[in-house]
Amino acid sequence: MSRCPFPHHLFTRKSEKEEPSLPSRRALFRGAAAVGGTAMIAGLAPAYAAEPATAPEQPVDPALETVPFYGVHQAGIVNPAPAAGMFVSFNVLAEDRKELDELFRTLTDRFAFLTQGGPAATAPEAFPPPDSGLLGPNVTPHGLTATLAVGTSLFDERFGLAPLKPRRLQPMTAFPNDKLDADWCHGDLLVQFCSESAEANLHALRDIIKHTPSLLMVRWKQDGFLPQSTVRAGGRTTPRNLLGFKDGTGNPDASDPALMDRIVWVQPDSGEPDWAVGGSYQAVRIIRMLVEQWDRTPLIEQEKIFGRNKATGAPLDGTDEHDLPAYGADPKGLKIPLDSHIRLANPRTPETEGNLMLRRPYSYSRGVNRAGQLDMGLIFNCFQADLERGFITVQKRLDGEPLEEYVKPTGGGYFFALPGATGPGRYLGQSLMEAAA
Amino acid sequence: MKKLAALAGFAILLAAPSAEAATNPLDLVGPVSDYKIYVSQHVDDLVSRTQQLVDAIKAGNLEKAKGLYATTRVPYEAIEPIAELFSDLDSAIDSRADDHEKKEADPGFIGFHRIEYLLFAKGDAAGAVPFADQLLENVKALQTRIAGLAVEPKVMVGGAAGLIEEVAASKISGEEDRYSGTDLYDFKANMDGAEKIVELVDPLVKKEDPALADKIAGNFKTVDEVLAKYRTADGGFETYDKLAEPDRLKLQGPITELAEDLAKLTGTLGIE
């Protein structure tokens, strides 16, 4: 299942020195694989080898793009976010640890196939086809990643895993501005599907459902999207959220493995259970944006709420998006208000240095309420090595911010993205299952 | 599946032999004829129970009518794959408010669930009288049409999967009998209807795929065990809101797996 199922030339493209100024998506994918390789953790097998760095010039069909599945860390976290994201929370129906182990193995097998592609499974015509056929007779990966995370409830009495719960994993509780809907919260498992195509994500989900009838039940699901221009730039430009502001400018550099080790990945001797090393806490929040009201708000007020220029993304004391705000020179918040979103989220002080996280959000749009107002907003999504120092601390700083008048968190949950499967024969959740044995 | 079958007398249409399975079409003659009897008995039962419900409504006996509502539906739910062949009657007998644009206020909302709505949500037996008469007329029409129906093996065997799809789509979520909360009666009746079909073809399935037959039997047993916990002293069931979340989740896996496995039955038996 690890073998490339398509003729190799279909996957190759120009060598990097011939690339234009922006790196190709392909190169970024290789970069992601290299992160997995260089961020190796002692005691684990090497990450599955990435492809050679150079290849002959050939056009590449974006449908055939792949992101390596095997690695010390799961894919779908530090590689650039592609155009389509889908977050699916599941109830686990497995009744004992043996069935849970079977579930982890099945999910791993399916992820390994779906992310690398190959001929769709078939059956005699008198039977229901085992593949939905959504992508045709050949399952084209479209750069798919499927990232598996576990929720607090997986560590309840059902599987005897309570002593192994990651230390910071806890049920998401409502912040003062939240209006949580129980049908859109929590879950035993979360799978984050990301690819260049909404169909590839849906195909993957239907494949998972088909393969786990007795083991999984979908609890909630939210699709998301990113601006095409951002995606084409390989994550090097910052996407605008549905309030029209650039969102993610201050994100740490995901291509810096040492930085990711510090901010994103659980490290040995961090007080976390050994099995969790190489994993990451994932916080997902479905945040409705009250866009009609926002669109009736003066620009100057919008900018003061965020702390950035709407057009350029520059902090209000600077001229370029990537200028660092000089809060020290503006102690009273005359330029960037003290309660602006960027200033509260990251005050850039030595004490708040430890509150960093890697954000990987998507926008969503899902219909209209009874008042004729649009239900759209942000699937906030972030990864960090310490949930409390990361998301929870930052969100507490944001409690009461002026932006709250225009946003309403309604769902989501806290999860722990499992360490990666390091090669064929290994499976997601294996370190947890072995620690429990 | 909702197509109007030809009224072709009490004949049994045989499947052509298939390349994939060795089931002799003649082996299906017995099961199909037994199933036809099962369906006839159920539709007769439906008519007599509906008559009792209508009598109670017309007598203005609200409590008695409410007490009869759930059990009147049971024979209908057990033979739903056959009843659904007559889509005009199925809609008139068993459509839910959701099936209509104006929901409860829609004039097209008639049949069992309209009566359920009036009895349980409105406490209005008198208002239910015209709908009760209409329901009785329609179940009698169903009885007549079924008497003249040729049951095809494909419809019968496919019906087992259809019944479980019913359960998976609306019974397990408690959407079917929302005013009375009597979903578990329908749930059990759908299961019994599917189990009857499986039982009739079980020897044939065992010959083709014994592991599949065992897995199906195991899941029926699990569902029965969970539902049995909600039996009441009078032989009925607790209301849906009593179904504990862990038990609902316990039903979910076997139901979904049954839906997958029963969908393979026609293929396994080589029925075209």
pLDDT digits (tens, 9 = 90+) for B78-108: 999 999 999 999 999 999 999 999 999 999 9
What residues in B contact A95, CB-CB < 8 Å?
A: 250
Average pLDDT for residues B243-261, to the nearest whole number? 96
Query: Is it the case that residue A62 has pLDDT exceeding 90?
Result: no
How does residue B170 score in pLDDT terms, banded at 50, 70 and 90?
Answer: confident
Residue among A214, A215, A218, A219 with most chain B CBs within 10 A, to mutate: A214
Average pLDDT for residues B114-138, to the nearest whole number? 98
What residues in A contact B257, CB-CB < 8 Å?
A: 213-214
Query: Is it the case that residue A249 has pLDDT exceeding 70?
Result: yes
How does residue A57 score in pLDDT terms, banded at 50, 70 and 90?
Answer: low
Q: How far does the CA of residue A127 sit from the closest CA of chain B (Å)? A: 5
- Give the separation between CA B184 and CA B203, rounded to whole angstroms: 29
SS (H, E, C) chain B: CCCCCCCCCCCECCCCCCCCCCCCHHHHHHHHHHHHHHHHHHHHHHHHHHHHHHHHHHCCCHHHHHHHHHHHHHHHHHCHHHHCCCHHHHHHHHCCHHHCCCHHHCCCCCCHHHHHHHHHHCCCHHHHHHHHHHHHHHHHHHHHHHHCCCECHHHHHHHHHHHHHHHHHHHCCCCCCCCCCCHHHHHHHHHHHHHHHHHHHHHHHHHHCHHHHHHHHHHHHHHHHHHHCCECCCCCECCHHHCCHHHHHHHHHHHHHHHHHHCCHHHHCCCC
Work out whether strand A118-119 and strand A138-139 pair parallel, antiparallel, or are unpaired: antiparallel
Q: How far does the CA of residue A286 sit from the closest CA of chain B (Å)? A: 24
Span of A46-55, B188-197, B216-225, B232-241 with lowest mean pLDDT: A46-55
Burial of A119 by CB count in 10 Å (0-12 exposed, 13-18 middle, 19+ buried)? exposed
Contact A133, A120 (CB under 8 A): yes
- Give the separation between CA B161 and CA B163, rounded to whole angstroms: 5
Q: What is residue A55's predicted lDDT score, i.e. its pLDDT?
A: 53
pLDDT digits (tens, 9 = 90+) for A346-401: 999 999 988 999 999 999 999 999 999 999 999 999 999 999 999 999 999 999 99
Q: Do A127 and B259 touch (CB under 8 A)?
A: no
pLDDT digits (tens, 9 = 90+) for A304-351: 999 999 999 999 999 999 999 999 999 999 999 999 999 999 999 999
Portion 231-260 of B in contact with A at CB < 8 A: 249-250, 252-254, 256-257, 259-260
Among partner residues B250, B257, B267, which is closest to A126 by beta-carbon distance?
Answer: B267
How does residue B22 score in pLDDT terms, banded at 50, 70 and 90?
Answer: low
**Among A103, A138, A97, residue whose Cα is nearest residue A4:** A138
Give the C-alpha distances (Å, rounded to integers) separating A67 from A57, A205, A273, A437, B272.
20, 18, 28, 32, 42
**Among B58, B166, B44, B187, residue whose Cα is nearest residue B119:** B58
Residue A69 in tokens: 């599945």
Query: Is it the case that residue A17 has pLDDT exceeding 70?
Result: no
Query: Is it the case that residue B2 has pLDDT exceeding 80?
Result: no
Among partner residues A123, A126, A214, which is closest to B256 by beta-carbon distance?
Answer: A214
The residues that bridge with A374 in the sheet, in sequence order, are A368
Query: Is it the case that residue A24 has pLDDT exceeding 80?
Result: no
- Give the separation between CA A263 and CA A252, rounded to whole angstroms: 9
Contact B180, B36 (CB under 8 A): no
* H helix intervals, A212-354: 228-232, 257-263, 291-295, 299-306, 341-345
Q: What is residue B3's predicted lDDT score, i.e. its pLDDT?
A: 36
Residue B36 in tokens: 């036809």
Q: What is residue A85's predicted lDDT score, i.e. its pLDDT?
A: 98
Q: What is the dihedral of CA A321, A324, A325, A328, to 10 degrees?
A: -170
Q: Answer whether B267 touches A (CB < 8 Å).
A: yes
Burial of B96 by CB count in 10 Å (0-12 exposed, 13-18 middle, 19+ buried)? buried
Using DSSP's 3-state secondary structure scheme, residue A253 falls into: coil
Q: What is residue B14's predicted lDDT score, i.e. its pLDDT?
A: 43
pLDDT digits (tens, 9 = 90+) for A105-158: 999 999 999 999 999 999 999 999 999 999 999 999 999 999 999 999 999 999
What residues in B contact A215, CB-CB < 8 Å?
A: 253
Q: How far does the CA of residue B253 sit from the closest CA of chain A (Å)? A: 4
Among partner residues A95, A123, A213, which is closest to B257 by beta-carbon distance?
Answer: A213
Query: Is it the case that residue B16 has pLDDT exceeding 60?
Result: no
DSSP A237: S
**Among A276, A240, A298, residue whose Cα is nearest residue A161:** A276
Q: Answer whether A210 touches B (CB < 8 Å).
A: yes
**Among A224, A263, A257, A264, residue whose Cα is nearest residue A416:** A264
What's the complex ipTM?
Answer: 0.87
pLDDT digits (tens, 9 = 90+) for A395-432: 999 999 999 999 999 999 999 999 999 999 999 999 99
What residues in A contact B268, CB-CB < 8 Å?
A: 127
- Give the separation between CA B137 and CA B195, rounded to whole angstroms: 29
Number of other CB atoms surrounding residue A88 within 10 Å:
23
Q: How far does the CA of residue A208 sit from the closest CA of chain B (Å)? A: 13
Q: Do B254 and A214 touch (CB under 8 A)?
A: yes
Contact A378, A242 (CB under 8 A): yes
Number of other CB atoms surrounding residue A384 within 10 Å:
26
Q: What is residue B6's predicted lDDT score, i.e. its pLDDT?
A: 37
Give the C-alpha distances (Å, rounded to integers) separating A123 from A431, B126, B189.
35, 56, 32
Among partner residues B219, B252, B260, which is closest to A217 by beta-carbon distance?
Answer: B252
Q: How far does the CA of residue B208 sit from the closest CA of chain A (Å)? A: 14
Q: Terminus-to-terminus CA distance in chain A, angstroms?
A: 27
Span of A179-183, A430-434, B165-169 with lowest mean pLDDT: B165-169
Using DSSP's 3-state secondary structure scheme, residue B52 falls into: helix
Q: What is residue A247's predicted lDDT score, i.e. its pLDDT?
A: 92
CA atoms within 13 A on the CB side of B124: 12
**What does pLDDT average to over chain B?**
92
Q: How far does the CA of residue A115 sit from the closest CA of chain B (Å)? A: 24
Q: What is residue A211's predicted lDDT score, i.e. its pLDDT?
A: 98
User: Interior CA angle at A277 toward A272 and A282, to 5°?
Assistant: 80
Q: What is residue A7's predicted lDDT score, i.e. its pLDDT?
A: 39
CA A264 to chain centre: 12
